[in-house]
Amino acid sequence: MQAPPLHIDDLIDDRDVSIVVCTGAGGVGKTTTAAALALRAAERGRDVCVLTIDPARRLAQAMGLTELDNNPRAVPGIGGGGSLHAMMLDMKRTFDEVVEAHADPVRAQQILSNPFYEALSSSFAGTQEYMAMEKLGQLHADEDAPWDLIIVDTPPSRSALDFLDAPARLGSFLDGRFIRILTAPARGAGRGLGRIAAAGFGIFTGVLSKILGAQVLADVGTFVAAIDTTFGGFRERADATFALLQEPSTRFLVVATPEGDALREASYFVERLQQEGMPLGGLVVNRVQDVDRELLSADTALASAEKLSLEGEDADLTARLLTLHAGRLRTRERQHHLTERFTGAHPEVATTEVAALPEDVHDLAGLREVGELLARGESV
């Protein structure tokens, strides 16, 4: 079964598209895809901002990002009529800025120095996803910004779905029932909850103190009280960005490699996007073995290699090159088979395949090459 081709250029040229989200399992090349796409869009005339989460050092350098400063920087050396800004997300800095923007200086200081805030802002499992969403919301809301297209890379989560789920989880955690109770221990047990819940709550705080210690609970209480009185619900903020991702001006690109795990993850994500009514742009399959499948079959190549190797020294090189060719065909066949399984389950998803490059991308020229491959919109 053949998937419809994904036309990347149509997508990035479409002025109605203002957000592109690149998502997928860890290690599939999301960041490189996002950067290559951003460069291509800029050189085709769009004003682009690319938000990367955790780029490899040399990729960051390729875009002129030498330090993590949490602000978009203009990337020099862009051809065509557009412009490109790039930034790396600093999740703690983003969180701090949210606090500073919404609280008076005294209270902001209280929040920032709370030990629980320290832990939450630097190591809570969902904070990176939440802050990526927060930053995306900010970049999109910035009226004076020079960009009209934002391309986002997503955090290297356990699962691609975390990007959608973690913000709501953190939001509901901070707005949640238990935390409300903790911030008002005196009234929590008495009113509204009823006797059974109150009894349960007694066990709850008892066990929590046992496990965590009373000091941790006190820190959490102080933190939530401080943050609650200064700005509105976290959940609302997460919901607003979630809604932004459902708008028709957003496109998701699901990134995978032609391996079982990565394609399975891509499958889950495609299903989830459909369920949430989020617009799917298509599937990008990276690192596909580049080989001409029409020229010479693996069997013929191997048979000829065998014949040649009997002829002695002079033909050995050709025999080895034919063996190499056969190996590439075999790998390609396996990859094709795995990708076909995805297409069988999701025949409507437009797909583009990107050939594996022999070396990593280090500079804008390398990113341009990846952009070129992305835009071919067909099987390798």
Partner 1 sequence: MEQTLWPGVALHVVSGKGGTGKTTVAAALAMALARDGRRTLLMEVEGRQGISQVFDVPPLPYGERKVAVAPGGGEVWALAVDPEDALLDYLEIFYNLRRAGSALRRMGAVDFATTIAPGLRDVLLTGKACEVVRRSEKNAPDAYDAVVLDAPPTGRITRFLNVNSEVSGLAKVGPIRNHADLVMSVIASPRTAVHLVTLLEEMPVQETIDAVTELHDAELPVGGIFVNMTRNPVLSDEELELAVAGDLPADRIEAALRSVDFNAKSSAITATLIREGDDHARRVALERRESERLADLDVPVLSLPYLSDGIDLASLYELAELLRSQGVR
Residue 40 Cβ, how far from partner 1 at the closest point, in Å? 22
Of 296, 336, 343, 369, the one binding partner 1 (CB under 8 A) is 296
Find the part of the chain contacting partner 1 (CB under 8 A) among 75-83, 104-112, 197-205, 339-347: 197-205
Q: Does 119 interact with partner 1 (rule: CB under 8 A)? A: yes
Of 5, 146, 176, 279, the one binding partner 1 (CB under 8 A) is 176
Find the part of the chain contacting partner 1 (CB under 8 A) among 38-46, 81-89, 240-248, 288-296: 288-296
Find the part of the chain contacting partner 1 (CB under 8 A) among 2-10, 73-81, 202-210, 227-235: 202-210
Q: What residues from 243 to 272 belong to the interface with partner 1 (CB under 8 A)? A: 257, 259-262
CA 282-283-284 angle, to 5 degrees, is 125
Q: Does 195 interact with partner 1 (rule: CB under 8 A)? A: no
Q: What residues from 297 to 356 belong to the interface with partner 1 (CB under 8 A)? A: 304, 307-308, 311, 314-315, 317-325, 327-328, 330-331, 334
Nearer to partner 1, 27 or 77 (CB): 27
Instruction: Please tell me the distance from the alpha carbon of residue 177 to that of residue 189, in angstroms, as a whole number.
Output: 12
Residue 85 Cβ, how far from partner 1 at the closest point, in Å? 24
Q: Does 58 interact with partner 1 (rule: CB under 8 A)? A: yes
Of 159, 229, 246, 297, the one binding partner 1 (CB under 8 A) is 159
Footprint of partner 1 (CB under 8 A): 25-28, 54, 56-58, 115-116, 118-120, 123-125, 156, 158-159, 169, 173, 176, 178, 200, 203-204, 207-208, 210-213, 215-216, 220, 257, 259-262, 290-292, 295-296, 304, 307-308, 311, 314-315, 317-325, 327-328, 330-331, 334, 358-360
